[in-house]
Amino acid sequence: MAGTVAAVALLAGCSGQPGAAAVVDGRTISTAELARADEELKPIFQGAGTNDVLGVLINETFATEVAAERGVGVSDEQALDLLRSVTEQALGAEAAADAEFGEGALAVARYSLAVTGLRDVPDAQDAMLEYQEKISAADVEVNPRFGDYTPETGVTAPVAPSWIVPEGGRDAAAVPEDGSTPAPTPAP
């Protein structure tokens, strides 16, 4: 019974908040919000993975807060304009006109605009330091399904536990450097 309770708690992640991809200073980033943002952004920000999107969603509040304090605040209207512009460049005018974006995608655009704005303020180095300090002081908990978070690296992909064995056994993962398939060794 105790083992079952422990397993359920581990699988739930994020302080037992079901559906949480991350919890940042008590604010929940839901797996649904992350999935929607990831789906909306993949066609226009190629190469960005789910972990990248989650890292930005974690840091966005701090970037926009410092940007507002430094006089380069960002509105949802500006974020939407950025998303439509990038969509038009990547997919064409028709796709941009039809595009709809949820809160997660808007947060990613706000983050992008805020960080760009912080780099352009007269005291940019101090502004970026303040932003980094806020990130470092934050209480961030990431659902283990999405990996680990550190202020220095963002969200890193989860690592398979050592008890998970690749299909075909441990030796199946070992492939010769030249990429060839090893010949089977007959058993005596």
pLDDT tens, 67-125? 999 999 999 999 999 999 999 999 999 999 999 999 999 999 999 999 999 999 999 99
So what's the pLDDT on residue 7? 39
Residue-wise pLDDT tens digits, 4-51: 433 344 444 444 577 999 999 999 999 999 999 999 999 998 888 999
Return the structure tokens found at 151.
Answer: 């202020």
- Amino acid of residue 1: M
SS3 at position 20: strand
So what's the pLDDT on residue 11? 44
The Cα–Cα gap between 42 and 49 comes to 8
Query: Would you list the DSSP string of 160-175?
Result: PPTT---TT-GGGG--
Residue with tokens 């760009």: 116
pLDDT band at 133 (very low <50, low <70, confident <90, very high): very high
Residue-wise pLDDT tens digits, 145-161: 999 998 888 888 777 66
Q: Which of 63, 21, 45, 151 is CA-nearest to residue 105? A: 45
Domain boundaries 18-162, CATH class: mainly alpha
Q: What is the pTM of this model?
A: 0.76
So what's the pLDDT on residue 16? 52
Q: Give the rounded distance of the alpha carbon of 41 from its chain centre.
A: 12
Count Cβ atoms below 10 Å from residue 112 Cβ, excluding itself: 19
Rounded to 5 degrees, φ, ψ at 23 are -125, 125
So what's the pLDDT on residue 34? 96
Domain ranges in the chain are 18-162
Return the structure tokens found at 165.
Answer: 């064995």
CA dihedral 164, 155, 21, 116 (to 10 degrees): -160
